[in-house]
Amino acid sequence: MKHTFLSYTHLVVLVLLVGSSCSNNKTTRLRDPINTGEQEPEYTWAATTDSLQDVTYTTYLSTAGNFKQDNSGRNDFNYWWNAHMLDALVDGYMRTNDAQYLPRMKLLLTGMKTVNGDKYQNDFNDDMQWMGLACLRTYSATDDPDYLAVAKELWAEVKKSWSDVYGGGITWKINTPYGKNAVSNGPATILAMRLYQIEENPDDLEWAKKLYAWEKKTLANPVTGLGWDNISQKDGKTVINKDWIFTYNQGTYIGAAIALYEKTNDKTYLNDAIKTANSTMISPKVTSEGLLRDEGQGDGGLFKGILVRYFTQLIQQPDLGENERKEYIKFLKFNAETFFEDGIGRPSMMSSPNWREKPGATTDLSTQLSGIMLIEAAAKLKEAKVF
C-alpha cells in the first residue's frame, strides 16, 4: 500500500507562506491493506492505545519498578526513557480515569529513585528535566504532592548549570560548560512554565523567558524555525551543529513557545511555534513524504513521540488560525493512520521505529513509547472531535 501526504504544490505553498494552507489539494485516503474494496479501515484509537499501554507495562516492567531496555530481556536502565514512561502512564490515566494507573505511576516514581542510586539527580540536565516534566503532569492529574516535590528538587539542580558561556543557556551535562543543547533548554523552558502555572512564582516565568530567548537566538534557524542540536567547542572554536536536526528538538521548541504564549499573550511566541511546525511538515531533515522520519531505535526511538506531544498541543491551541489547524490535523492524522495500519505488530502490539513498516524482533522501550504517544494523541483528538 502506498501512502501519500502532500502534493508538490502543497509543499511549495507551505515553504513560501508561514501560516498559510492549501485547500485545493486533498490527502489520499488510507485504505485497509487487508480489504481489497474501498472501505476505509476502522481506527480504534482508544482501544488500540489501551492495548499498547497494557502490553508495554507487562512486557517492559522490571522487578525494581522501573522499565527495561527492550522486549528481548535486556534490563539496562535508561533514566530519561523511564521519565517518558511516566508521561505515557499519565496520558492513559487522564484519558480513562482508570485507577489502575495510580499504583503504576507511584511504583515507577519510587523505582526510579531506587535504581538511580537512591536519588533523582542525574549528570544529564535533560534527563532531570524530562523527569520533572512528567512529575508535574502527574501532580496536576493526581494532586499527589510527592510528584511536585521531585519536580522542584530537580528544577533546583538544573538551574545550577546556567552560565554566561555562549551568552547563556543550560549545559547538556553538569560540569561541562562548553556543551549546550536544544534538549537541555527547550524542556527547561516548559518545566519553568509548568511550575509557574502551579505556583505563580514570577522567578520561574523569568527563567522561562531567558531560556527561550537564548535558544531562539542561538539554536533556532531564523528562516525556517527548525532547531539545531547543540553549540560546543571544537579545536578551540565555537561550533553550532546545524547538521543534527531531530524531531524532538522541534517538539520542545514548539511546546516552549506555546507555554509562554498562553501566559504572556505575546503573539511572537505563537508565530514562532507556527513557523517551526510548518517547516517540520516539509523538511526532509524531519519528514519523509509527509511521515515523521525513522530516527532508529535507542534514544532516537523516542524522538518522534516527543514531537507528537507538543504538536498536539499546538493543534489544540484556541488562538491558532483555522487554516494552520487543518494542515496540522491532516499531517498528524496521516502519521497516526499510517502507523496504525503499518507500524504496529499484531498481536504483539509492538511499535516500529519506521511507521511505514512492521517492527522487527526487538523493540526498545523508547520506540514503543513513541507509538503509545502517537496513538494516545490520536485518541485525545478523536475524543475532542478533531480527528
pLDDT digit string (tens) for 230-252? 999 999 999 999 999 999 999 99
Of 346, 332, 322, 310, the closest CA to residue 382 belongs to: 332
Q: Per-domain residue ranges for the chain? A: 8-383
pLDDT (0 to 100) of residue 96: 98
The cell for 369 is 513509547
Is the pLDDT at 14 greater than 90, yes or no? no
Spatial separation of the C-alpha atoms in residues 308 and 39, rounded to whole Å: 28
pLDDT (0 to 100) of residue 268: 98
Of 330, 335, 320, 289, the closest CA to residue 18 belongs to: 320
- 156: phi then psi, degrees, rounded to nearest 5: -60, -35
Of 165, 170, 248, 176, the closest CA to residue 208 belongs to: 170
Using one digit for the tens of pLDDT, what is the confidence trace for 125-161?
999 999 999 999 999 999 999 999 999 999 999 999 9
Peptide bond into 202 cis (omega under 30): no
What is the torsional sign of CA 103, 135, 329, 282? negative
Of 278, 142, 265, the closest CA to residue 223 belongs to: 278
pLDDT (0 to 100) of residue 38: 55
Please name the residues in contact with 80: beta carbons below 8 A apart, sequence gap of 6 or more. Answer: 124, 126, 127, 130, 131, 299, 302
Spatial separation of the C-alpha atoms in residues 55 and 242, rounded to whole Å: 38
How many Å is the Cα radius of gyration of the chain? 20
pLDDT (0 to 100) of residue 5: 54
Is the pLDDT at 9 greater than 50, yes or no? no
Using one digit for the tens of pLDDT, what is the confidence trace for 258-312?
999 999 999 999 999 999 999 999 999 999 999 999 999 999 999 999 999 999 9
Spatial separation of the C-alpha atoms in residues 311 and 242, rounded to whole Å: 22
The cell for 160 is 545550577
Indicate the residue type of 173: K
Spatial separation of the C-alpha atoms in residues 325 and 141, rounded to whole Å: 27
Is the pLDDT at 352 greater than 50, yes or no? yes
Using one digit for the tens of pLDDT, what is the confidence trace for 51-107?
999 999 999 999 999 999 999 999 999 999 999 999 999 999 999 999 999 999 999
What is the DSSP secondary-structure string of 215-277? Answer: HHHHHB-TTT-PBP-EEEEETTEEEEE-S---HHHHHHHHHHHHHHHHHH--HHHHHHHHHHH
Spatial separation of the C-alpha atoms in residues 61 and 66, rounded to whole Å: 6
Spatial separation of the C-alpha atoms in residues 184 and 160, rounded to whole Å: 12
Of 330, 332, 358, the closest CA to residue 343 belongs to: 358
CATH fold, domain 8-383, is Glycosyltransferase (1.50.10)
pLDDT (0 to 100) of residue 52: 98
Percent of the chain past pLDDT 70, that is, above it, reads: 90
Is the pLDDT at 30 greater than 90, yes or no? no
Is the pLDDT at 381 greater than 80, yes or no? yes
pLDDT (0 to 100) of residue 41: 86
